[in-house]
Amino acid sequence: MPLPAQPADVAWPTEAWPLGELPAGLDQARFDAQLARAFETDEMGQTHALAIVQGGRLIFERYGRAHGPDHTYPSWSMAKSITQALVGVLVGEGLIDIHAPADVPEWREPGDPRGAVTLDQLLRMSSGLRFVEDYVPEHPSDVIEMLQRSGRPDMAHFAAAMPLEHAPGTWWSYASGTTNIVSRIAARAVGATGEAFHAFMRQALFDPLGMKSPVPKFDGSGTFIGSSYCFATARDFARFGLLYLRGGEWDGRQLLSRDWVDYARTPTFQQPGEENRYGAHWWLDVAGPGSFSANGYDGQYIVLVPDLDLILVRHGATPLAKKDVLKAWVGEAVACFR
C-alpha cells in the first residue's frame, strides 16, 4: 500500500506537534463508545495514554488517571521496531549487509550450522534458534531468564548460545532473544556500547525526529536491550511512527531508505496456523490490510494506517488474558475513521 507524503501545509513535528481536529466524517458516537471501553471499564485492563495523528497533525489525545503527555511509557517489544530502524541506518551507511552471515562470534566455529544464519533471517524471526517466549512466571521461559535472571549480564550471548531447532529460514518463531542478537550486531557495526551507543541512537534517530524523551536501557555488557526497553512519551512514540508512515523521510532528509521501510512491512513466511502476520521486526494488519505496527507486552501499540494517513499510539496495562480484546479494540477504534 502506498505511504502518504507529509502535507505541504503541515509542519514536521520536530519541535512540537501541529494540532488538528477530529475529522468531520467521524462516527462520533461510535468513537466515544470505544473511548469509554478503553478508559472507563476494565474490559482491556488499564489504558494510560491514547494519541491519534492524522495528516501529520495530532488530532486527539487522552490520558488515564495519574498519566499525562510528559509521562514516559514502557516500550516493551515496540523497542524491536526501534532496533530495526537503527539497523536500517547502518544498512544505509553500508556498514551492514543483512543477507550475509550474521556477525555473531558464538557461531564462528567451523561446522557450526548457526554460522549460516543471516541478519535478514534474524529480523524476520526465522533464524531457527530455540527460544521459549513465555511471560507466565511459572512456565519454562527463556525470555524471563534472559531479561530478569541469568541472562542479564549479556543478553545477546544468552540468546546466541541457543541451539538450532529448525533449519534457518524454514520456521518462524517470535523471540526476544533474537532482537538482542540483532542489537549487538548493530553495536559491533558502530563499534560502540553503553553511553557511546546511546549517543549513536540520539544522533541517528532520536534527535532528527525531535524525540527528547527516550530512555533506552542496556544490559551488563553495554548492549541496548533492543527487545524490550526504551521508555518515551506517547508523542515521541508517535514521532517514530510518523518516520515510517512517511517512508523514512523527515523534513527533507531521508533518514531511512524507502526500501527499508517497505522491507519492514513485507510479509515473512510463517507456517500455517500462525495467528498474526509479521514483517521484519514489525507486525502486520492489526488495523486492517496494509496497516503495520510496533506492538509491546501489556498492550503497547504504535499502529500505522497508510490509507487513512493515521497513527494510533496506545499505552496501558493489559493482562495477557485480555490481549485479544485489546487487539480487536485497536481495529475497531481505527475503523471509526473509515
For residue range 43-80, list pLDDT tens digits in order. 999 999 999 999 999 999 999 999 999 999 999 999 99
Q: For 278-296, what is the mean pLDDT?
A: 98
Q: Among residues 196, 187, 186, which one has the least CA distance to residue 123? A: 186
Q: How many CB atoms lie within 10 A of CB 271?
A: 10
Q: Which residues pair with 61 in a beta bridge?
A: 51
pLDDT digits (tens, 9 = 90+) for 88-110: 999 999 999 999 999 999 999 99
In 90-187, beta strands by DSSP E: none
94 within 8 A of 254, measured Cβ to Cβ = no
Distance separating alpha carbons of residues 75 and 231, to the nearest angstrom? 6
pLDDT at 145 over 90: yes
pLDDT digits (tens, 9 = 90+) for 13-24: 999 999 999 999
Q: How much is the pLDDT for 114?
A: 98
Q: How confident is the model at residue 138 (pLDDT cuts 50, 70, 90)?
A: confident
Distance separating alpha carbons of residues 165 and 183, to the nearest angstrom? 22
Q: Which residues pair with 300 in a beta bridge?
A: 296
- Averaged pLDDT score across all residues of the chain: 98
Distance separating alpha carbons of residues 177 and 122, to the nearest angstrom? 10
Domain extent listing, the chain: 1-72+237-253+283-338, 74-232
pLDDT digits (tens, 9 = 90+) for 157-212: 999 999 999 999 999 999 999 999 999 999 999 999 999 999 999 999 999 999 99
Whether 74-232 and 1-72+237-253+283-338 are alike in CATH topology: the answer is no
Q: How much is the pLDDT for 219?
A: 98
pLDDT digits (tens, 9 = 90+) for 210-229: 999 999 999 999 999 999 99
Look-up of cell digits 523527515: 250
Q: What top-level class would CATH report for the domain 74-232?
A: alpha beta
Distance separating alpha carbons of residues 88 and 65, to the nearest angstrom? 37
Distance separating alpha carbons of residues 120 and 128, to the nearest angstrom? 12
Q: What are phi and psi of 310, to 5 degrees?
A: -130, 145
pLDDT at 84 over 90: yes
pLDDT digits (tens, 9 = 90+) for 264-277: 999 999 999 998 99
Pick the CATH number of 1-72+237-253+283-338 from 2.60.40, 1.20.120, 3.30.450, 1.10.155: 3.30.450
Total-model pTM: 0.98
pLDDT at 137 over 90: no
